[in-house]
Amino acid sequence: MSTLTISATRVPPFARKSFPLTIPFSPDETVEDIKKTIAAKIPKLYTSRQRLTLKSEKKPLADETKLKDAGIGSGAELELKDLGPQIGWKTVFVVEYTGPLLIHPIFYYLPEIFYGKGPVIHSQLQNFVFAMVELHFAKRVLETLFIHRFSHGTMPLFNIFKNSFHYHVLSGVLLALDLYRPAFSATSPYIQGTFRNDETFLWICAGLWAFFELSNLSTHLTLRSLRPAGTKKRAIPFGYGFGMVSCPNYFFETLGWTVVAGMTGSYAAYFFLVVGTGQMLLWALKKHKNYKKDFGKEYPRGRKAMFPFLI
């Protein structure tokens, strides 16, 4: 029977005595099968905590790779790295998006607690923006639960605190603290007698925002259709939004937040717009690069990463 040796780096105390580990295998088994064998022997070291590489190589072996295709034969040695406690991406996104969904109502309905100037009569602008923010993040939660399919099942548990900062603090506390303050209220000189108190202007902004939100949803549905459930299949996306950019979902989201920033003039909204757009651009550039690498000449040459004709 063929066997291979599993050595380990950065393993927790509960697993140190188990390595090096010798396990039987067949050439037709996949890397994921080996991970399952390791997990069966060390249950706390579940498959998503494991990263396997060929000895002295840095690139991780993909779960779906067959051992024979990777040139792994009897007597070979693989190196395991413990990635630490993991959490599902779906859970991560729900936690991220639920934060602002709960934070904004606190500031909207209880302004006296935070501003200490007596009752705040909300302006139509504040009413519109509150509804738009709540609908946006409710949409994001529902998309996470019923639409998105993830190529990676988990991420390190402690990263959830870093990831949540962007949403809970920037689009949650900071944005809500600015938007629902008396300076934007119905009695504020900033609002009274200005276009920000004009219902036609507000409805035009809401209509544009809704168009961008629905466009964003459409691109998510397109991406979902390309990946059958339970697979990591990748395909070239086509259709609405994808004619000019690789990541129209990020482009439409940027436009939606641009409407919020423009209609309010809020410094916090502009700050969140800049930070969020910068982060999405980095993701878009990476995905664009991977598309071109994976599909080569088949990938449409004229597409940009996120902004049509620009980048």
Phi, psi for 149 (deg, rounded to 5): -120, 130
User: Count of CB atoms within 10 A of residue 89's CB?
Assistant: 16
- 132/171 same-domain check: yes
Residues 19 and 157 in one domain: no
* SS3 letters across the chain: CCEEEEEEECCCHHHHCCCCEEEECCCCCEHHHHHHHHHHHCCCCCHHHEEEEECCCCCCCCCCCECCCCCCCCCCEEEEEECCCEEEHHHHHHHHHHHHHHHHHHHHHCHHHHHCCCCCCCCHHHHHHHHHHHHHHHHHHHHHHHCCCCCCCEEECCHHHHHHHHHHHHHHHHHHHHHCCHHHCCCCCCCCCCHHHCHHHHHHHHHHHHHHHHHHHHHHHHHHHCCCCCCCCCCCCCCCCCCCECCHHHHHHHHHHHHHHHHHCCHHHHHHHHHHHHHHHHHHHHHHHHHHHHHHHHCCCCCECCCCCCC
Low-confidence ranges of the chain (pLDDT < 50): none
Residue type, 264: T
- Per the domain annotation, does 235 fall within a domain? yes
Indicate the residue among 58, 84, 110 that finishes a domain. 84
Domain membership flag for residue 311 = no
The confidence score (pLDDT) of residue 89 equals 87
Are residues 270 and 141 both part of a single domain? yes
User: pLDDT value at position 239?
Assistant: 95
In a shared domain, residues 117 and 36: no
In this structure, the answer to whether residues 210 and 130 fall within a common structural domain is yes
Report the pLDDT value the prediction gives residue 17, as an integer from 0 to 100: 87
Q: Is residue 16 part of a domain?
A: yes
Does residue 43 fall inside a structural domain?
Answer: yes
Same domain membership, residue 262 and residue 201: yes
**Given this model, what pLDDT does residue 1 score?**
64
Q: Is residue 232 part of a domain?
A: yes
| Residue 63 sits in the same domain as residue 129 | no
259 and 216 fall within a common domain? yes
Q: Which pLDDT score is estimated for 57?
A: 83
**Residue 53 belongs to some domain of the structure:** yes
Q: 168 and 260, same structural domain?
A: yes
220: in domain: yes
310 domain residue, yes or no: no
Task: Match 């641009």 to its residue by tokens.
Answer: 258
Domain boundary among 56, 84, 112: 84
What is the predicted pLDDT for the residue at 200? 97
The pLDDT of residue 21 is: 92
Measured between alpha carbons, how far is 27 from 70 in angstroms, rounded to an integer? 10
145, 239: one domain: yes
pLDDT of residue 219: 97
Domain boundary among 40, 61, 84: 84
> Phi, psi (5° rounding) for residue 233?
-60, 140
Q: What is the pLDDT of residues 83-130, one digit of tens each?
A: 889 998 899 999 999 999 999 999 999 999 999 877 889 999 999 999
For residue 65, the domain's CATH number is: 3.10.20.90
Domain count, the chain: 2
Q: Do 129 and 180 reside in the same domain of the chain?
A: yes
Domain co-membership, 109 together with 72: no
| Structural domain of 273 | 87-298
